[in-house]
């Protein structure tokens, strides 16, 4: 680690507190049900975080239920933590019903958040700076007297420090005197920058003896960096959420902070030495339970984190993975992906043939060369095979003499019309194999209409494809659009309930492009089924086709 | 800015090089067409970046086309930059066809990337350390002798520095001796951490005299922070992409780096002082043209960046916005979101009416309220007015009683048909104003065909609109697509040679949606012309319409 110009105060090991179930659940549009919360907690325990901050008892009934329910499970690595505020102004801690609820959660550890920015004390709490200190002191004392370990979460600490350093430090000292076991500096508005965090944590370290922690939000795009800089300045305790979910722009992402600490800074962060390899799975699971689409660009665990598109990169990574990979993808449970694109070459197609069809083909195979040449020509016409591997593989199969052409498109026709309001279409198609199948259909749009007619014809022609479903249909304009005369590229994703594949076609006529992509999708399914049956008959020789 | 423990070497101003069109286009699944590239370049120029790195001539024909096409536009702020590699080993620079293509792009500035990590020289280039230095020297000399300004992009500099500092520095000195005008340190694998970047840039600054730049990737989740730390250490030139799109986990995000620099570090980054306020629009536009869903959690410009979930935060933000907002949302063209309220969206519409039509309308105007209600209903049906302000303004004008309806659509009909190869369409439309105009046309695709017929009818009906050109046509699927029956959203951009406007329409029938968006675009032009004539007659009172 290069640390010239810096003093490296990083500890050998930090504690990780995951607050996905508390701060993460405060994100817009996120609502975990009880069972989801339990599943996430169990997975976090398996991965090996030290603390799971799981909810605010009294804020909603689900949180209280969680604290009861989780007791039925025996956790290996993690302490469950209840979150609560300081006592209400004017109340005694012992008679504040919210604090009682936090006790009732019956956890060994409790997080107490208090205000450390004078602006918040004055404008939001609307009380005196003195009373705020009393609220913090009383609340922590109350929990300590009831035998709890207390994490004090100093809200808006960095803003407070910048505007009224003396008061912000006084808040921390009050918490420490009251017996807090951890002092956490929160960048609640997320506006801090990494160098400020380093400087402030260093300075606080000169005043506070108890272990310091940092809790970072991402409003400046620096939540991860700020957490790392906090550790470099001596913080021993970090707050994170899975995938960085949280208020506004979110929190520091566990899936990024932890590998940065362990793989790059040599700071142990997880209690389970195998935990790092479970991060991709943890990430996917939380996206899934939160009902969010995974971010493919997420560092370490995203689908694209180790995906290489440009030809130069693909080539180099095959020569030496370190050439374009900062860590081995397996270290965080991810894998390398090589994509086809106008910039790249053979490696991708070879990989797809292997993965999707079990066909092993050499880099110098003439059929592969011819297929690549055709793919390149199509790309120049506006095709893109980044997602549409099924269309690329059909070309390869054709060049290998393995594309049986189970049917042929003879003719199609659509009429579409409208008036001041609304519109309707009717269409007809003619497909053939041994015999000719002609079918008609009607609908609103021209594409759905021709699709319906095609499916009717295919049902007769290839009944085994009847359970193939079209699950995604997209339209792109691949080239310079010149009035409405531009080529359109249609991309369609299919499933048979088990696997997924995508096809693509380009035409100046959207109906024609759609017809071709639909037929390719069905043809790919029929051919793949046939190949797999062939393979099945000789399982020891997946390479038989080109071996 | 707190900088205890640090020396702040940040300059007063940095140059921003946007590489969305080059490095961003290398991202998986991203494929900008020529017209999209032009639109993004024009918007970047408007926002005020210093450099637009727009492609690698010779890597694909589209990039070369771009460099020719962009010359037709006059840019205010930005220099267009071509990107290329060092000469091939064993070749002369002057006989390397790729370098010739870079010259042919005819830009004042060229980025040359070269290897600065010995691992890459040995394992990827498979040449000697000495020959690599020669390749760098010769290439830069070649471009300097041909009158170009050269940005040297030292690939993998940070990895190289960590493993063989002496060689990495020798690479930079070679580039400097050859006459490079900027020396850029690239963290190509994106694995560096902020404190390392600060330390390394500081140390490099002791050896290199030419202005230093940084080019950061996000594989450690620190691309933004690393860029800021580079500037803090003295870098005067930063490479970014809009929304951080790029290889693997992407690049440093322009939309985050720039406000961090300008609003938090006091470093000027954009040539246009109003550029910051355009960032949200820029962000949306690039997502749109890349066919990506915007990331709602994106700092500054994301939908959730200033969204406060009901409760403590909303209450506090109403008492004092600073309580939970690190910067004012308006500063980056974003807005606060408290809950779903009629109020959201009003600011946009008011701003558009002012900017595009010179109409001043108050927040409480009944017509505005009614227009917003209709817009919200349309949005629920899949409409999006983020770009299509012309369609939104037509609704407002209608509610204000100012939409004269210069013509009416009576009927349209298209027939499209194909066989094994190819397809063709013919179409007919009936429009009316005082009289009825019926016209027919033929073409390949159904949309271009109906467009032709429409233009023929409009030429008779409103000859003054004959020089309005359709310059961009896009199709989106706004909702979950259910087979091919999904609604499509068409978005069309028009120009009269001076101004640009965009309309949108949604229908299950792509032809119908296109017809409506085309007619809206022409109608908007005719109405705007009429309003402006009105305004022209009373230039002192642009508010006359609602004043």
Of A242, A267, A292, the domain-final residue: A267
Within a domain: residue A49?
Answer: yes
Taking the C-alpha atoms of residue B500 and residue A540, their distance in angstroms, rounded to an integer, is: 63
Does the distance separating the beta carbons of A249 and B297 come in below 8 Å? yes
Q: What is the pLDDT of residue A453?
A: 95
The 8-class DSSP code of residue A84 comes to E
Q: What is the pLDDT of residue B536?
A: 52
Does the distance separating the beta carbons of A474 and B299 come in below 8 Å? no
Q: What is the domain-level CATH number for residue B511?
A: 3.30.160.270
Taking the C-alpha atoms of residue A525 and residue A33, their distance in angstroms, rounded to an integer, is: 38
Taking the C-alpha atoms of residue B492 and residue B469, their distance in angstroms, rounded to an integer, is: 10
Within a domain: residue B129?
Answer: yes
Q: Which residues 259-288 of B have a C-beta within 8 angstroms of A? A: 260, 264-265
CB B501 within 8 A of CB A415: no
Q: Per-residue b/e over B318-334, b at no fewer than 16 CB within 10 Å?
A: ebeebbbbbbebeebbb
Is residue A100 within 8 angstroms of chain B, CB to CB?
A: no
User: Which residues fall within 8 angstroms of residue A249, CB to CB, at 6 or more apart?
Assistant: A190, A217, A218, A219, A221, A223, B297, B298, B299, B302, B304, B305
Q: Which residues 63-92 of A have a C-beta within 8 angstroms of B? A: none
Strands A182-187 and A212-216: parallel
Query: Average pLDDT of B199-226?
Result: 97
Burial of A327 (0-12, 13-18, 19+ CB in 10 A): buried
Q: Using an 8 Å CB-CB cutoff, list chain A residues near B70.
A: none
| ipTM of the complex as predicted | 0.72
Is residue B60 within 8 angstroms of chain A, CB to CB?
A: yes
User: Which residues fall within 8 angstroms of residue A365, CB to CB, at 6 or more apart?
Assistant: A546
Query: Average pLDDT of B170-197?
Result: 97
CA distance to A272, B14, B242, B268, B277, per residue, from B273 (Å): 51, 14, 18, 9, 9
Q: Which residues 383-412 of A have a C-beta within 8 angstroms of B? A: 384, 386-387, 408-412
Does the distance separating the beta carbons of A486 and B196 come in below 8 Å? no
Tell me which residue in B247, B420, B451 faces A313 most closely, judged by beta carbons. Answer: B247
Q: Using an 8 Å CB-CB cutoff, list chain B residues near A161.
A: 2
**Shortest alpha-carbon distance between residue A296 and chain B (Å):** 8
Does the distance separating the beta carbons of A474 and B477 come in below 8 Å? yes
For the ranges A137-151, B74-88, B311-325, B454-468, the lowest mean pLDDT is seen at: B311-325
Within a domain: residue A300?
Answer: no
Within a domain: residue B293?
Answer: no
Q: How many domains does chain B have?
A: 2
**Shortest alpha-carbon distance between residue B507 and chain A (Å):** 8
* Tens of pLDDT, residues B445-485: 999 999 999 999 999 998 988 889 887 788 877 654 445 77
B237 band by pLDDT with thresholds 50, 70 and 90 = very high
Closest chain B CA to residue A115: B323
Tell me which residue in A219, A297, A418 faces B299 most closely, judged by beta carbons. Answer: A219
Within a domain: residue A396?
Answer: no
Is residue A435 within 8 angstroms of chain B, CB to CB?
A: no
pLDDT at B168 over 80: yes
Q: Using an 8 Å CB-CB cutoff, list chain B residues near A307.
A: 28, 248
- Give φ, ψ of B475 to 5 degrees: -125, 130
Closest chain A CA to residue B161: A2
Taking the C-alpha atoms of residue A229 and residue B196, their distance in angstroms, rounded to an integer, is: 11
Of B267, B291, B325, the domain-final residue: B267
Within a domain: residue A391?
Answer: no
Within a domain: residue B288?
Answer: no
CB A45 within 8 A of CB A52: yes
Q: Using an 8 Å CB-CB cutoff, list chain B residues near A283.
A: none
Angle between helix axes A223-232 and B194-205 (nearest 10 degrees) is 80
Q: What is the pLDDT of residue A479?
A: 56
CB B52 within 8 A of CB B80: yes
* Tens of pLDDT, residues B154-166: 999 999 999 999 9
Of A238, A267, A296, the domain-final residue: A267
Q: What is the pLDDT of residue A224?
A: 98
Domain with A68 in it: 15-267
Is residue A98 within 8 angstroms of chain B, CB to CB?
A: no
Is residue A198 within 8 angstroms of chain B, CB to CB?
A: yes
Mean of per-residue pLDDT scores for chain B: 89
Q: What is the pLDDT of residue A337?
A: 74
Is residue B149 within 8 angstroms of chain A, CB to CB?
A: no
The tokens for A238 are 């970090």
**Angle subtended at Cα B425 by Cα B422 and Cα B427, rounded to the nearest 5 degrees:** 175
Within a domain: residue A204?
Answer: yes
Q: Using an 8 Å CB-CB cutoff, list chain A residues near B474.
A: 477, 481
Q: What is the pLDDT of residue B106?
A: 96
Q: Per-residue b/e over A45-54, b at no fewer than 16 CB within 10 Å?
A: bbbbbbbbbb
* Residue of B153, B160, B222 to mutate for A, most A C-beta atoms under 10 A: B222
* Tens of pLDDT, residues B487-546: 888 888 888 877 788 899 999 999 999 999 999 999 999 999 888 776 654 444 334 333
Ranges of chain A whose pLDDT falls below 50? 1-2, 341-343, 480-482, 537-547
Alpha-carbon Rg for chain B in angstroms:
26
Distance from CA of residue B408 to its chain's centroid? 35
Q: Using an 8 Å CB-CB cutoff, list chain A residues near B220.
A: 224, 256, 260, 264, 299, 326
Size of interface A-B (CB pairs under 8 A): 432
pLDDT at B101 over 70: yes
Taking the C-alpha atoms of residue B431 and residue B426, their distance in angstroms, rounded to an integer, is: 17
Q: Which residues 205-244 of B have a C-beta within 8 angstroms of A? A: 218-222, 224-226, 228-229, 232, 244
Distance from CA of residue A125 to its chain's centroid? 36
Q: What is the domain-level CATH number for residue B87?
A: 3.20.20.70
Does the distance separating the beta carbons of A257 and B4 come in below 8 Å? no
């Amino acid at each position: 680690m290069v640390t010239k110009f810096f003093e490296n105060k990083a500890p050998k090991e930090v504690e990780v507190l995951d607050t996905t179930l508390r701060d993460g659940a405060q994100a817009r549009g996120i609502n975990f049900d009880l069972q989801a919360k339990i599943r996430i907690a169990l997975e976090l325990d398996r991965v090996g975080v030290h603390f799971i901050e799981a909810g605010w008892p009294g804020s909603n009934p689900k949180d209280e239920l969680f604290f009861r329910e989780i007791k039925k499970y025996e956790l290996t690595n993690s302490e469950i933590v209840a979150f609560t505020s300081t006592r209400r102004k004017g109340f005694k801690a012992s008679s504040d019903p919210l604090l009682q609820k936090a006790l009732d959660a019956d956890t060994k550890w409790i997080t107490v958040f208090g205000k450390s920015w004078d602006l918040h004390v004055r404008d939001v709490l609307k009380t005196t700076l003195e009373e705020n200190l009393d609220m913090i002191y009383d609340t922590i004392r109350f929990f300590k007297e009831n035998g709890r370990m207390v994490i004090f979460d100093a809200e808006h600490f960095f803003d407070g420090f910048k505007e009224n350093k003396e008061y912000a430090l006084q808040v921390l000292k009050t918490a420490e005197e009251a017996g807090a076991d951890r002092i956490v500096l929160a960048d609640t508005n997320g506006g801090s920058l990494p160098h400020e965090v380093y400087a402030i944590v260093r300075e606080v370290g000169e005043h506070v003896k108890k272990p310091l922690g940092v809790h970072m939000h991402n409003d400046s795009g620096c939540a991860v960096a700020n957490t790392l800089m906090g550790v470099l300045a001596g913080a021993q305790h970090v707050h994170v959420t899975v995938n960085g979910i949280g208020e506004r722009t979110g929190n520091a992402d566990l899936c990024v902070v932890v590998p940065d600490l362990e793989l790059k800074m040599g700071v142990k962060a997880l209690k389970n030495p195998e935990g790092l390899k479970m991060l991709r799975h943890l990430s996917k699971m939380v996206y899934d339970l939160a009902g969010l689409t995974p971010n493919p660009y997420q560092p370490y665990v995203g689908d694209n984190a180790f995906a290489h598109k440009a030809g130069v990169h693909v080539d180099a990574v095959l020569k030496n993975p370190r050439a374009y990979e900062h860590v081995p993808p397996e270290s965080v449970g991810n894998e390398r992906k090589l994509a086809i694109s106008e910039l790249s070459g053979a490696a991708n197609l070879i990989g797809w043939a292997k993965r999707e069809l079990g066909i092993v083909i050499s880099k110098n195979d003439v059929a592969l060369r011819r297929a690549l040449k055709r793919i390149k020509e199509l790309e120049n016409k506006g095709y893109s095979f980044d997602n549409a591997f099924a269309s690329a593989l059909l070309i390869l199969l054709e060049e290998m003499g393995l594309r049986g052409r189970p049917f042929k498109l003879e003719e199609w026709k659509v009429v579409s019309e409208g008036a001041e309001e609304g519109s309707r279409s009717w269409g007809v198609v003619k497909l053939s194999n041994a015999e000719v199948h002609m079918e008609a259909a009607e609908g609103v749009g021209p594409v759905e209409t021709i699709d319906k007619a095609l499916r009717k014809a295919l049902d007769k022609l290839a009944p085994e494809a009847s359970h193939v479903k079209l699950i995604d249909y997209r339209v792109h304009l691949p080239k310079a659009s010149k009035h409405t005369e531009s080529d359109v590229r249609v991309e369609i994703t299919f499933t048979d309930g088990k696997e997924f594949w995508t096809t693509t076609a380009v035409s100046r006529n959207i109906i024609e492009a759609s017809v071709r992509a639909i037929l390719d999708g069905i043809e790919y399914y029929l051919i793949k089924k046939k190949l797999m049956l062939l393979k099945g008959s000789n399982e020891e020789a997946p390479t038989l086709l080109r071996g």
